[in-house]
Chain A
Amino acid sequence: MNVLPVEMGLLLAGVLFTLGLISVLIRRNIIFMLISVEIMLNAAGLAFIVAGSRWAQADGQVMFIFILTMAAAEVSVGLALILQIYHHLKTLDSDAADKMNG
């Protein structure tokens, strides 16, 4: 196993984060926006793992576990919200949910 430069790992994390960011900006479907947020969180976790591997410490992996927990909680609440929005508005368009009807 040859030794990698640390920039390559951070570069991959940056590319994945940018793809997720583009997707969350251009999509109008709420489920796709949620998937894009998952991609971005995963990229942030990848950056933490690269940093933890650079110094051979466990802290990066601990931070990844926290990000994982946060992503799981976020996706459950977000999917419950999506179910309610679809139930009320009969569409997955995020622009349809811009009015507060009380």
Chain B
Amino acid sequence: MAFYIASIIAILATIMVITRYNMIHALLYLVVSFLAVAVIFFMLGAPFVAALEVIIYAGAIVVLIIFVIMMLNLKEESVEQERKWFSRNIWIGPGILSVVLLGELVYILVTSERVLLNNTVVDSKAVGLSLYGPYIIGVELCGLLLMAGIVGAYHLGRQRRKVVHRFLEKTEE
């Protein structure tokens, strides 16, 4: 029963995310959606991943996006523009096609044989043993990916310094 309540909250919050005009409101609903999914993870017997969902998705990633929105300093007219972009004839086509795809998935899931979930809790010790045992190459690749992410974000986010000369204006590399 609790699973269904959390699922409905997650779906409703996600619908609110994709229909908001104001970005901050959308992000607050996104946090609610992530928290509901974390509750579901906890019920599925994955407490470590539930904690990670709260800390990294609902914490770090959302805070990062909020910081960028604050840096961009968007005013009220961005909400108005979003309202102008979000007209009915734009979302009706992709919406119908995606819902048809979802309907196919629902059909496949409903007509397949019913399998019950195991009610065992996989704790963080088992996850750690698996992570640093058979999946050690994946951990190293993740480290490489994060390093590339740091270097890429630094390189892309650097602001070019503007040099104003007497005759010509150019951006310093």
Q: Which residues of A contact B (CB under 8 A)?
A: 1-12, 14-16, 18-23, 25-29, 31-32, 34-36, 38-39, 42, 46, 49-50, 52-62, 64-66, 68-77, 79-84, 86-87, 92-93
Contacts and interface: CB of A to CB of B under 8 A. Distances in A.
A73 B148 contact: yes
Contacts of B49: 49, 61, 64-65
6 contacts: A10-B109, A12-B11, A27-B18, A32-B82, A61-B46, A76-B149
Given A5-B116, A12-B40, A69 B68 contact: no
A73 B23 contact: no
Interface of B: 1, 3-4, 7, 10-11, 14-15, 17-18, 23, 26-27, 30, 33-34, 37, 40-41, 43-46, 48-49, 52-53, 56-57, 60-61, 64-65, 68-69, 71-72, 74, 78, 82, 85-86, 90-91, 94-95, 98-99, 101-102, 105-106, 109-110, 112, 114-120, 122, 126-127, 129-131, 135, 138, 142, 145-146, 148-150, 152-157, 159
A18 B14 CA distance: 10
Going nearest first, the 5 A-B pairs with the smallest beta carbon separation are A73-B149, A25-B94, A23-B18, A80-B156, A80-B157
A4 B71 CA distance: 45
For the complex, would chain B's binding face be called helix, strand, loop or mixed by DSSP majority?
A: helix
B3 A4 contact: yes
A80 B67 CA distance: 12
Nearest to A69: B142
A26 B86 contact: yes
Contacts of A54: 115, 117-118
